[in-house]
Amino acid sequence: MTTTIVDAKSYKRLLQELEQHRKQHERLKLLFNVTRNITRELTIDRLLLRIMDEVKNVLNCDRCSVFIMDEENQELWAQVAHGGDEIRFPSHLGIAGYVATTGETLNIPDAYADHRFNPNIDKQTGYRTRNILTIPMRNKMRNIIGVFQALNKFGGPFTRDDEELLDAISAISAGQIENAQLYEEQKKTFDSFIETLATTIDARDPMTAGHSKRIAMYSDEIAQIVKLTDAEREVLRTAALLHDYGKIAVREAVLTKKGRLTPEEFEHIQSHPEFTRRILRKINFSRKLKDVPEIAGAHHEKIDGTGYPQGLRDKEIPKLSKILAVCDVFDALTSQRPYRDRMSFFKVLHIINRGAGTDFDDFYVAALKKIRLDRILLILEDEHKENLRPGDLRFLSHFTLTDLMFVYAVDEPTPEQQKLVRVFTKYYVQNYEEVR
């Protein structure tokens, strides 16, 4: 009888141990999956979204926010919160501020029963907070760099197991968030370097001031229309900003000459794409930007092989170079110069259309014509945006270059079509003293 009782107790203890091992295994599996998923993201925006999604799924709760400490401004901020916009507040306020300041974990089963909860937030958002789990996020040095906050667990309040799980996720996330912040800082530094190079080149020739930046903006509009990947868009933007860098090797007298170029001068200025390619090859671009020199150096190639510097044809030309080619000509035709006004927009569209299939890729000409007119004006008037009336931009946002071309072709435009031409032309033909 005694043996049976002992065996029963041993069996019960064994079952308990097995259950503990099962829970531990499940937890490790969850943490492995969370780690695998969040380490795929490099940008801070996407990383925070991914982390919040993972926490919601793991803790089976309605919402999650990740508040990041801004030491310089003594604020906590959430870049993205499920169901809300970016928020910032002093780092000592509220439940998140309390946890960031004290380093304590707060598991509040009834939010409205806790004096630290501010019910006005629910009133402003229309949300109803029931329970809250808030945990500090520490880096490897054990410094608090932010706060995790989970809201409204389904089926009851948050448990001790939830606390331990969120604490583990917080530790994993802290390192990844700091890596993402470092990556973002390095990217901003690189981007500012590229923009400085572009500005330096544009400054050599007052006639083309802002040209490289506008090419980057037009190119990105096309990139979005044809659904290029984010990685391709970054390559395109970098190549666009640097596409004319070879002009640094062009004699200034030739570069700024207002009259007709001699054959020798024309040949000299045509060398700038090759100089662009050679110079950019000396920059230690990251692996994902390694094709920038070839793309930037081919922006004067033409589909029919009559372009320069290599005389490439159609499929030999990188697709991103084809985007640069049509944007480069479009900007040149629509830009003001100290010695002339902008070319009539009707003539610009005629030239672009005429070059489709010979100078330019048909596909990207069609994409250019899909750009909304408000976007066209915002790029054209990048340095004078304050002159654009919001009401006019809203009206033009309903039309594309294709729509404008259609209006030019009809004999009797409707009142709305007449307004379209009138509003767009009002901005397109105006001059500014500094460019006369």
Concatenated DSSP letters of 389-408: -HHHHHHHTT-BHHHHHHHH
Concatenated DSSP letters of 80-122: -BTTB--EEEETTSHHHHHHHHH---EEES-GGG-TT--THHH
Report pLDDT for 435.
Answer: 35
Concatenated DSSP letters of 282-312: TS---GGGTTHHHHHTTTT--TTS--SSS--
> Considering the domain 198-435, what is its CATH architecture?
Orthogonal Bundle (1.10)
What are the tokens at 298?
């081919």
Residue 244, amino acid: D
The residue to which tokens 């640069």 are assigned: 324
pTM comes to 0.75
319-367 confidence digits (pLDDT tens): 999 999 999 999 999 987 655 678 888 999 999 999 999 999 999 999 9
Whether the CA torsion 89, 94, 96, 102 is positive or negative: it is positive
Q: Which residues of the chain have pLDDT under 70?
A: 1-6, 8-9, 11-12, 14-40, 79-85, 206-207, 337-340, 431-436
At the top level of CATH, the class of 17-181 is alpha beta
CA-to-CA distance for 389 and 335, rounded, in angstroms? Answer: 20
CA-to-CA distance for 255 and 324, rounded, in angstroms? Answer: 20
Report pLDDT for 83.
Answer: 45
Report pLDDT for 432.
Answer: 46
298-312 confidence digits (pLDDT tens): 999 999 999 999 999
Contacts of 398 (CB under 8 A, 6+ apart): 372
Report pLDDT for 85.
Answer: 63
Report pLDDT for 31.
Answer: 59
Domain boundaries, the chain: 17-181, 198-435
